[in-house]
Amino acid sequence: MDYCLQSLLDAPIIELDVIDSTNNYAMQLIDADTAQPGTTIVARNQTQGRGQRGKKWMGNDGESLLFSLIVKPIWRIDQQFMFNCAVAVAIADVLSSLYEGWDVRIKWPNDIIVNDKKAGGVLIENVLRGNDWAHSVVGFGLNVLQAEMSAALPFSTSLLLASQKEFSLSELLEKTRMAILKVCCLPLFAEIMETYNSYLFRQNNMQLFTDDRETWVAKVIEATSCGTLTVELADGSIVSYQHGLVRWQW
């Protein structure tokens, strides 16, 4: 096994019953200069789990895979979105290998979709010090053992609901942790966007978008290495959307 990967796998795994946020815990280790690349914080439950744009991650105790990885990417600062894509692809590859009845996709920029419903999400927080990309905290939450989802989340699912099969949280942690850490040692720059777009949810389909003022339909074309989503509008024009300025409408 590659020495880089082995050293990351040998880093501590900190197991917690409950925490406000595994990403917060990881950031505290970084702030205290006690962060070791590969260190993993895993929790049975989070009281203030976070998703993209300040959204909360909701879950019941022991039903979700909830962890954060501290890594030091060997990437340039301007490749942060490509790193995001590589992590999402690594997770999608793992899930695709687990159950042949799943259609696993990535909803731009990094939601994990199983059979057209959201099963998980990635939140990556980067620590930059001058021109140095010092650390990344890769947070991942995955619905695993939920037998039902909240009525407030009609477009969500769990691995159990999508397969009628129970998966081990510890085995899922091992597989996804290794897959993400491999990305940190062996970044396949030339292949990342092509593979990401092969997983892109709703690619070549019409999709509803909103900017909170109006809604419209556009055809999803591809995600770009700079983080934008390229779409084709109804009049045939091609435009690019920035995440956070335009939202996906289920």
At 71-127, the pLDDT tens digits run 988 888 889 999 999 999 999 999 999 999 999 999 999 999 999 999 999 999 999
Are the C-beta atoms of residues 143 and 64 closer than 8 Å to each other?
Answer: yes
Q: Quick one: pLDDT at residue 58? A: 52
At 197-245, the pLDDT tens digits run 999 999 999 999 999 899 999 999 999 999 999 999 999 999 999 999 9
Structural domain spans, the chain = 3-198, 206-248
pTM: 0.93
**Structural domain 206-248, CATH architecture:** Roll (2.30)
At 36-48, the pLDDT tens digits run 999 999 999 998 7
Q: Which residues contact 34 (CB under 8 A, 6 or more apart)?
A: none
Is the confidence at residue 2, as pLDDT, over 80?
no
The CATH class of 3-198 is: alpha beta
CB neighbours (10 Å) of residue 237?
9
